Amino acid sequence: MTFASRQAIRLSDGRELIYFNEDSSSNRAGFPDTRHLPPPPHTSQLRYDPLVDEWVAVAAHRQTRTFLPPSDACPLCPSTSSFASEIPAPSYDVVVFENQFPSFSDRIAPDEITSLTELVPVRPGIGRAEVVCFTSDHNSSFGALTPARVRTVIDVLADRTTAMSRLTGVAQVFPFENRGVEIGVTLHHPHGQIYAYPTVPPRTRSMLTAAARYRTRTGRDLYADVLAAERTAKTRVIGENEHWTAYVPAAARWPFEVQLAPHRKVADIPELSDEERDAFGPLYLDVLGRFDRLFGKPMPYISAWHQAVVGEGRDLGYLHLQLFSIRRAADKLKYLAGSESAMGSFVNDIVPEKAAEMLRDA
């Protein structure tokens, strides 16, 4: 681990906050939360949709979450003498805390209903939702971090993945970052989130089904073979080093989409070796820089870590990062309109090989 110390405190409403300090002499746990906050909300409600065999979370309390506040009222900046934020200390390196408006938590409403109709069971959205602040610099971005700070972030995600995977009822741990108002961010400060899902999400279920079918037919690992084929073809490879390859998927759904995968199959971030963790940052920062240079302005994106599930099917997982943007031209966005939103059937506007060429040239 590259962080020197780990200090956990409780905010005034009982939520947990953890400082990950890069300097062992840092003592940020001594700063109390001076706010008077109401108790955290109850967790979301999971409703089963029998028509597609999926669970949908309903979290009405998230309607009131903070929306694009001015920089001097940012809840992710360190606290000052004039403003108490979510982070009581006057500075930090990387910090993680329970989301004030969580999609999932362990706080169950006492009168939770159990069904709406005989076909639609209902259950609490038991899990966890955390916020990860990558830097105290409000005006920075993940792409502006140093490789050393990226390594700290990776170690923090490993720490949280391990802890959240142990929670009762958690099916998968999902770290991600949303960047840009075009994506729908509600806070400008550089940050990501981690969801501990109580059910296996639809995309993961599809990936598990495909991987299991491929293993039954061939006896081999699907993602390992896809990665090997891309490394051999090289047509869509953006960059690589001893431990990682970044490539545009041959059947990319998004205008600009890159997957970063370790050459060695691992289930999740905690399983990465020190060498693999060190090698990730320089390659990822290079790809992020290419995204921003593509149109000469900050690229909106979603960065999603696909990790193995916690229970059955874990052996089918292959850790990889999916990075994609909805921007398809300098002045055009890819909207999920009729086919994508209603049918889940994607139509990409850019040929993946062309996207790879543009990213290599950026």
Measure the CA–CA gap between 159 and 27, rounded to whole angstroms.
19
Contact between 240 and 246 under an 8 Å Cβ cutoff? The reply is yes
The pair phi, psi for residue 360, each rounded to 5°, is -65, -35
User: Which one-letter DSSP state was computed for residue 254?
Assistant: S
Report helix, strand or coil for 153.
helix
Residue with tokens 């329970």: 98
Question: CA dist 159 to 166, 293, 304, 331, Å?
Answer: 11, 32, 17, 39
Measure the CA–CA gap between 18 and 132, rounded to whole angstroms.
10
The pair phi, psi for residue 295, each rounded to 5°, is -120, 15
3-state secondary structure 330-357: CCEECCCCHHHHHHCCCCCCCCHHHHHH
> If 0-12 CB within 10 Å is exposed, 13-18 middle and 19+ buried, where does residue 305 land?
buried
Report helix, strand or coil for 266.
coil
Measure the CA–CA gap between 247 and 210, rounded to whole angstroms.
20
Catalytic residue among 42, 188, 189, 191: 191
- 14 contact partners, CB below 8 Å, separation of at least 6: 39, 40
Q: CA dihedral defined by 48, 49, 55, 60, rounded to 10 degrees?
A: -80
| R_g of the chain computed on alpha carbons | 21
Q: On the CB side of 105, how many CA atoms lie within 13 Å of its CA?
A: 23
189 is an active site residue? no
Q: What is the distance in angstroms between the CA of the first residue and the CA of the last residue of the chain?
A: 33
The CB density around residue 357, as the number of other CB atoms within 10 Å, is: 15
Q: Which residues are designated catalytic?
A: 191
